[in-house]
Amino acid sequence: MVKIRLMRVGKRKQPSYRVVVADSRSARDGRIIESIGHYGPREDPSVVSIDTDRAVFWLQRGAQPSGQARKLLAISGAWSAFKGEPPPGESGSAPAPRRAAPGASRATPAASVEEETGEEASASEEAGASAT
C-alpha cells in the first residue's frame, strides 16, 4: 500500500520533515517514491509547502495519508482539492442559511401541545359521557 507520510530530516533536536509518498513497508526514513513537499515545525510560523497537484495525483491513486500528513494536506489545501471542496478560509458564493427567529420556533411546539391536550380532554369527556 502506498502512503503519504513524513520523513524526518535535519539535525538532532532540530527536526524538519519532508512530505513523501512511500511504500508502507519501507522504513520511516527509507526508500521513497516521490517527495511532494516539506514541513518546518521549528520556524515561526511553521512552514508547510506541499505540491498540491502531486498530492492530489497520489490521493486519487489510493495513497493513504498518515494522521499528521492529512493535517498538513488540509492546511495546504491539497486535501480540500482532493475532496472537491473549497479551500479553507474561502467562503462559498452562497451565504449560509439563516435560522428561524427564536420566538417563532417556541410558539409552534406550544400550540401543538395545547391542541394535543385539548384533544385528550375532549376524548376523556366523550368517554365519561358514554359511560353514563
Percentage of the chain with pLDDT > 70? 65
Q: What is the span of the domain harbouring residue 58?
A: 2-83
- For residue 114, is pLDDT > 70? no
> At residue 60, what are phi and psi to the nearest 5 degrees?
-65, -25
pLDDT at 12: 94
Over residues 47-68, the pLDDT tens digits come to 999 999 999 999 999 999 999 9
Asked if residue 116 is part of any domain, the answer here is: no
Asked if residue 127 is part of any domain, the answer here is: no
Structural domain tally of the chain? 1
Specify the pairing of strand 2-11 against strand 64-65. parallel
Structure-model confidence comparison of residues 76 and 127, the more confident one: 76
Instruction: Name the pLDDT band for 29 (thresholds 50, 70, 90).
Output: confident
CATH of the domain at 77: 3.30.1320.10
pLDDT at 86: 76
Q: Is the whole-model pTM more than 0.75?
A: no
Residue 67: how many CA atoms within 13 Å on its side-chain side? 0
pLDDT at 34: 94
